[in-house]
Amino acid sequence: MPSERMPLIGMSLKIYFSPARTQQYLSAYVPISRSANALGITTFLIPDFLSVATSCAVLVTTEEQRYATGVGAQDCFWEDSGAYTGEISPAHLWELGVGYVEIGHAERRRIFRESDDDVAKKAAAAAKHGLIPVVCIGEVEPDESHIDFAVQYCVKQMDAAVRCVPVDSQVVFAYEPVWAIGQPNPAPTEYINAVCAGLRMYLDSHKRETSARIIYGGSAGPGLFTELDIDAVDGMFIGRFGHEPTNFEIMVHEIAKKIGKK
């Protein structure tokens, strides 16, 4: 598991890709992911649940790759086993080779009524098994004149997870303003930088200087990271813009250039 705030780029396929299409996608994705790792950038791919095992077989052939070029799951439960029909055990995900778990996406908070406490319990369960929780946070409405409101809203979402996940365990917070998800353009860069700077300050004040990373999602695509403050934003969390592998590759090189590795 990384012991410092290495740059990170992750991608969730939600359920846009079938297992067959995921396998096709991996043929283009894998070499890009490996080259990113050679540039000092960690990557993770979150396929649908039916493709997790086959993705691990391709991307995670060594224990180091579990985090360096990892595979994530789109959710997990807070119990390891038992009579919980339809749930996913974090212990079983670890056994498959999974390194990351996305938790608390805005869609799950809205559609499935997941609370901050639910998210915190899932994050703690994931961390207990060595998985890196990718906790999604983000305000529902934009208000560029009141950045502090967005920071406070997100801190409230983060706080339970920060308290439940051990301070020496890695955790990633994906800042995704709900109002920017699925839109043609991301949030304004000045807005992203200001909010993430506030979140970084909160994390540092809770002794998370190296164990917590912040990545931006919400219509994130090529060209965005070049405008972001790397002291506050550690990487990108992309969705549909990454469905075309060349876009993913472009973003890898943008991050590498920004951090001075290219």
Tell me which H or E stretch contains 69.
Answer: strand 69-73
Task: Indicate the burial class of 235 (C-beta count within 10 angstroms; 0-12, 13-18, 19 or more).
Answer: buried
* 8 Å CB contact between 9 and 238: yes
Query: Of 102, 105, 114, 254, which is the active-site residue?
Result: 105
- Chain centroid offset of residue 187 CA: 17
Beta bridge partners of 44: 10, 70
Query: Of 114, 139, 176, 254, which is the active-site residue?
Result: 176
Distances (CA, A) of 195 to 56, 190, 260: 34, 9, 24
Our answer to whether residue 176 is catalytic in this structure is yes
What contacts 162, CB < 8 A, 6 or more positions away?
171, 203, 206, 208, 212
The token duo for 40 is 């000092």
The token duo for 28 is 């283009």
Alpha-carbon Rg of the chain, whole angstroms? Answer: 17
Q: Active-site positions?
A: 105, 176
